A and B are shown apart, each in its own frame.
Chain A
Amino acid sequence: MKFIAVTACPTGIAHTYMAAENLEKTAKELGHTIKVETQGAMGIENELSAEDISGADALILAADIMIENGERFDNIPKIEVPVQLALKDPKSIFAKKPC
């Protein structure tokens, strides 16, 4: 499957990036493609473009805070999880049914 993801945590120092790394790593292991946008203390990085969004099957939203420009994802199926799940059990996220 083709995933896109956004990660964001309260201070934007550690978990945002750790979750991003884990999602990328796990997607590869499971044979998915993924592009992860991070919204942390560095601001928005690896920003998802309109094409990224329209070409994706689902969005993984691993965020503990309101994300910026969330309206971009109004029309895409979502898997919403706490950031910590991306560290604890990333495989389970990919097994979830988007809604």
Chain B
Amino acid sequence: MISSSDKFEYRFTCPLPNGLHARPANLLEQVVSGFGCNVVLENLSNNRVANAHSVLSLVGADVKEGDECILRLDGPDSEAAYKVLVKFIINELPSCDEKLPEVVCAAGDVYIPPVLQAAQAEYYLGTSVVAGLARGRVVHVQALALPDNLSSQLADEPQKEIELVGQAFAQLENEIALRLTSPLLTRMEKDILTAQQAIATDKEFRQKVVSLIAEQAISAGVAVMQAYEHFCDILRSARSELIKERVYDLQDISAQLLIHLYGSQPQAKVVLTAPSVCVADNITPSQFMSLDKSMVSAIVLAHGSSTSHTVILARSCGIPTLVGVKEACSCLKSGQDVIIDANNGLLIHKVNDKVERYFRSEQAMRAAREEYYSAFVDKDAQTIDGLPMLVSANIARAEEVAIAVAKGADSIGLFRTEMLFMDRDKAPAVEQQFEQYHEAVKAAGGRPVTIRTFDIGGDKNVSYLNLASEENPFLGYRGVRIYQQFNDMFRDQLTAILRASAYGPVKIMIPMVTCFEEVLWVRQTLDQVKLTLDNDHVAYDRNIRLGINVEVPAVGFIIPQLAGIIDFISLGTNDLTQYFTAVDRGNKQVSSLYQSEHPGFLKFIKYIVEQAHKSNLIVSMCGEMAGQLANLPILLGTGIDDLSVSIPSVLPIKAAVSGASASECSLLLDELVGLKSAIDVKERVVAFNNRPSDKSAVDVALVDLKADCVNKPEVIRHVCNMLAGDNRTGDAVELEKDFWRREAVYSTGLGFGIAVPHCKTSSVNCNSICVLKLKQAVEWESIDNMPVDVIIAMTIKDVEQAGNLHMKIFSRLARHIMHEKFRESLRTIESAQEIVEFLHEKLEIN
């Protein structure tokens, strides 16, 4: 620190993996905005200087990870500002950013499925940023272009122009503020609107516009355009893509300003009337938000990258998206029928019969997968040896309940209520909260809803509570620890929850419990609130269940003592792991030690579940660990009663539970807790998950006696899809590649109209034999040059050891195929069941 009376300097190295882009810059600007002093940030790596009162200016400093920077403070309150800023940079800045979303499939790294190659599909390549397959008519979305006819306008009365632009800024600000209050906004839309708000209210941007008018006597519109160009130049020259992309937000804001200034839309609103593939050079976030999403099949951009705001929005809506498709704007005609294969980064612009077949079969596959999962929507999950497992959903808003139920959730295992308390001036009233809880309970249709009382403090702060900032917020004043101080707020929440309990089963869960007295106090408070409701003759569930979130390790050791005053516990594994391993997982230097698979941690959760069950308490888990398919055997091994996971994980977890054996998992866990380290645990679990399944190699699901394939690539794809459909492979694409690697050596066409495609692969979980009879013979480069109409496909799991008896069936099969009688029998049998029986007999499968 260098200081003289009211001048301060602070030097730091940028800790952000993605640099100082819009979101962290926004946070920094918010801290600075609390003070009147000048705050300047200088990036020593490129000598750019930024006004820290402006997000645009900060972003324009192009600060990357590792850049040395100096903050210079100058002015009356700079000492106070200095203290707060330093604290912010040390404590909060490093953990305020998230990992960037990943690209599904980058251009240049393309796999053109052999079926599409054979179909002679004509396509353009792009980078897939949201996976999926879609079809629709091309609709060109005009870029939100700024008008170019403003260039010559001089202003007669600059002062009037300044007033006009001031009004336009105010209108835009109000408009964004208004849009932000919409209850229909998703979290993602809200974040992005907030980022746009930061630009619309940016001091430097506004100052630039005003000073351009004053100095050059130009019209407000021209000034907006020039200010836009000025900041674009700065942003475009940034090294970080993330920063360059903010040009589109700036363009968005500038165009909206012009609308407010001149009242005309720069371009007509896009109205979609049929499933559409929206094509543009770039679509701004506000354009995206105005599109009718039910009509958007896919998005194709000539520019843009995986981190642009529009792409983030498309991802949150699950709309397949390709970026970097150079030909998109120039080569596609409006109304043209196109297929977007965003699993492989392809835009197929000419749809012929074979491409059409590919599209249909892929869609059928997806439909089959959905149908397979849908069987679990109304079914209780149970392991093959009869252990029932509830699979519930974690939500944060009442609207999500209906979705969770539709996606198979048995109950709501965690309704986080913090969001109701955030982004407001004061705590929500009982009535407001009741509406939310009531809506959730109604939508749950008799399924229990576990409402966790507000977990505020730590990283989730609420301005109106005026909680002091702490050295160590995660070990500080948060969760139940603040309830006595904010007793009224807590009672209001309990009142709202109790009232909702009159309409369906509700449970109350208390966060961040450390000791018995806290729970006792909550229990007594709950009883008092009940009494008040009794006196007011308000209905509620008298037997409402009370439980705790186990996040603090200490409480995990007093479960039997708590049993008399609680009904259930729920393991919050994110915080529990953090406290158990003493690791802040946002801190890159130690995050590798954040290990939910640590043998000690596994022993701990095993112990907690045992203790809880001895005390007749229900145990659930609501942390991230619960939704990780790879870790499911561990959790099944503990005998836990309920897994509460994010909505999209519900059905996959239910399906996986139904295929697992609780007793095997229990033995596995006994073994895991004795291992040395998390690495060993992960390895062992991977081996367990990949263990050969005991499915028979032959099954009616693997026989298709009327296969509709017109060429060799379609046959191989069909075989892979059959194996995927019977859950024998989790990666049909890799499996397909393995088949083709073998075909590349020499064709597996044997003559006699038979082909035996095969591979040894890590992409299957069991050895399999598929039998197909084709409706029409296809070319296979056979040794007798004749087409084939019988396919016997063999896949062997690559971990199989030589000499394994399971494999004997393959050599038997291979030898049988050499005999005409065997081949004739295969050809004459007319039902899948008989094929299976025939192979069982011939291959001596028991």
Contact = CB atoms under 8 A, between A and B. Distances in A.
Nearest to B756: A14
Interface in A1-41: 10-18, 20-22, 25, 38, 40-41
B742 A41 contact: no
B798 to A, nearest CB: 10
B814 A14 contact: yes
Interface in A49-99: 64, 84, 87-88
Contacts of B751: 87-88
Contacts of A10: 742, 745
A42 to B, nearest CB: 6
Contacts of A25: 818-819
B807 A42 contact: yes
Contacts of B759: 11, 13
Contact of B794 (A13, A38, A43, A64): A13
- Indicate the member of A10, A11, A20, A25 with the most B CB atoms within 10 Å: A11
A43 B810 contact: no
A11 B818 contact: no
A18 B807 contact: no
B802 interface: yes
B750 interface: yes
Interface in B494-520: none
B758 A21 contact: no
Nearest to A85: B783
Contacts, number: 69
A15 to B, nearest CB: 8
Nearest to B798: A41
A94 to B, nearest CB: 16
B746 A84 contact: yes
B783 A13 contact: no
Contacts of B742: 10-11
A10 B814 CA distance: 15
B811 interface: yes
A84 B800 CA distance: 25
A50 to B, nearest CB: 22
Contacts of B750: 18, 87
A84 B760 CA distance: 19
A41 B759 CA distance: 11
B745 A18 contact: no
Nearest to B803: A43
List of 5 A-B pairs having minimum Cβ-Cβ separation, nearest first: A43-B802, A17-B814, A21-B815, A21-B818, A17-B811
Interface of B: 742, 745-746, 748, 750-751, 756, 758-760, 783-784, 794, 796, 800, 802-804, 807-808, 810-811, 814-815, 817-819
28 contacts: A12-B760, A13-B758, A13-B760, A13-B814, A14-B756, A14-B814, A15-B814, A16-B814, A17-B810, A17-B814, A18-B750, A18-B814, A18-B817, A20-B815, A21-B815, A21-B818, A21-B819, A41-B760, A41-B796, A41-B807, A41-B810, A42-B803, A42-B811, A43-B802, A87-B750, A87-B751, A87-B783, A88-B784
Interface of A: 10-18, 20-22, 25, 38, 40-43, 45, 64, 84, 87-88
Given A18-B756, A21-B819, 13 more contacts: A13-B759, A13-B810, A18-B814, A20-B815, A21-B814, A38-B811, A41-B796, A41-B802, A41-B807, A42-B803, A43-B802, A87-B750, A88-B751
